[in-house]
């Protein structure tokens, strides 16, 4: 297995927004695809896991941005496996521009799941060799996102029904689609006047095709909070977005 997986990333028109910024969902998709290719290089493609009734399930993503990457910019994405702690596996990422300066860094926490029994498995249950990189983790498993208890005015609940376009080969809403869901809830002023400094998403319960998610959002200072619940009030996901003023405002 290659110690640190490196590959180019150039965002297309469909992966960018009205201001020429790469969508957060496109960044998350690139991260997931790079991880899959790294595992495939080690002889463990997604199809081989599915044959064994296994799947990787993302628990938390933490992303920190030095600046917003741009449409058409040639970037280099690095990822490596940082090993397991308890039932959580950590995978880290760094994204660089053509000047070799860091654009983004991210840490993700994953767990191995038995698809048929819907049960989390310990690392010892992984049936293939999976060496840990010699490069240390950036910060270990990321902490879960959490919502403020007070000092925030939440929106009225909004119902989102999981569509065909959001569901992946594992049968549930793909992790990158949650980023689209969160940014779609931002108002035009936020989108025009602010850039992302960081974001964190915790995935509490998977959502399948046709499931309803009750969404609520709110802002506190420079942070934008979004969470989704089942119709019985169980959390499906929680997300925190840290915003910073833009140097250029788009009309």
Query: What integer pLDDT is reported at residue 242 of this predicted model?
Result: 97
Nearest C-alpha neighbor of 126 from the set 141, 111, 137, 116: 111
Q: Assess whether pLDDT exceeds 60 at residue 250.
A: no
Go through 214-245 and write b for each residue having 16 or more CB atoms within 10 A of its CB, e for each that does not.
bbbbbbeeebbbbbbbeeeeeebbbbbbbbee
Q: Are strands 5-9 and 88-96 parallel, antiparallel or unpaired?
A: unpaired
CB 111 within 8 A of CB 57: yes
Mean pLDDT for the stretch of residues 19-32: 95
Which stretch of 156-160, 178-182, 243-247 has the lowest confidence by average pLDDT?
243-247
The pTM for the full model equals 0.93
Taken as a whole, the chain contains a residue count of 251
Query: What integer pLDDT is reported at residue 251 of this predicted model?
Result: 42
**Number of helices followed by number of strands (H, E) in the chain:** 4, 11
Q: Backbone phi, then psi, for 206, in 5-degree steps?
A: -65, 155
Query: What integer pLDDT is reported at residue 118 of this predicted model?
Result: 85
d(CA 36, CA 165): 20
Q: Assess whether pLDDT exceeds 50 at residue 249.
A: no
Kindly report the number of other CB atoms within 10 A of residue 149's CB atom: 6
Band of residue 204 on the pLDDT scale cut at 50, 70, 90: very high
Residue 213: both structure tokens together: 């998610």
Query: What integer pLDDT is reported at residue 112 of this predicted model?
Result: 93
| Phi-psi domain of 48 (left: phi exceeds 0; alpha: psi -120 through 50; beta: other) | alpha
Which stretch of 120-124, 217-221, 236-240 has the lowest confidence by average pLDDT?
120-124
Q: Assess whether pLDDT exceeds 60 at residue 159.
A: yes
How much is the mean pLDDT over the chain?
93
Mean pLDDT for the stretch of residues 50-58: 91
Q: What share of the chain is helix, strand, coil (3-state, %, to 5)?
A: 20, 40, 40
Band of residue 124 on the pLDDT scale cut at 50, 70, 90: confident
Q: Assess whether pLDDT exceeds 60 at residue 1.
A: yes
Residue 206: both structure tokens together: 């998977």
Query: What integer pLDDT is reported at residue 127 of this predicted model?
Result: 87
Query: What integer pLDDT is reported at residue 248 of this predicted model?
Result: 59
């Amino acid at each position: 297995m290659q110690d640190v997986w490196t590959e180019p990333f150039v965002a297309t028109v469909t992966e960018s927004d009205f201001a020429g910024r790469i969508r957060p969902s496109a960044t998350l998709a690139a991260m997931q695809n790079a991880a899959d290719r790294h595992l495939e290089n080690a002889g463990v493609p997604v199809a081989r896991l599915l044959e064994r009734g296994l799947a990787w399930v993302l628990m938390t993503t933490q992303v920190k941005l030095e600046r917003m990457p741009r449409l058409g910019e040639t970037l280099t994405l690095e990822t490596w496996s940082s090993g397991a702690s308890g039932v959580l596996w950590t995978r880290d990422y760094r994204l660089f521009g053509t000047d070799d300066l860091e654009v983004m860094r991210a840490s993700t926490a994953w767990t191995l799941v038995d698809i048929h029994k819907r049960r989390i498995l310990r690392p010892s249950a992984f049936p293939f060799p999976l060496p840990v990189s010699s490069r240390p983790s950036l910060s270990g498993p990321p902490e879960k996102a959490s919502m403020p208890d007070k000092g925030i005015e939440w929106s009225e609940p909004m119902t989102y029904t999981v569509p065909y376009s959001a569901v992946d080969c594992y049968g549930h809403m793909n992790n990158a689609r949650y980023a689209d869901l969160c940014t779609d809830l931002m108002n035009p002023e936020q989108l025009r006047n602010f850039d992302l400094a960081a974001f964190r998403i915790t995935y509490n319960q998977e959502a399948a095709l046709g499931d309803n998610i009750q969404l609520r959002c709110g802002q506190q200072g420079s942070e934008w909070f979004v969470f989704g619940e089942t119709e019985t009030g169980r959390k499906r996901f929680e997300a925190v977005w840290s915003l910073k003023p833009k140097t250029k405002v788009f009309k």
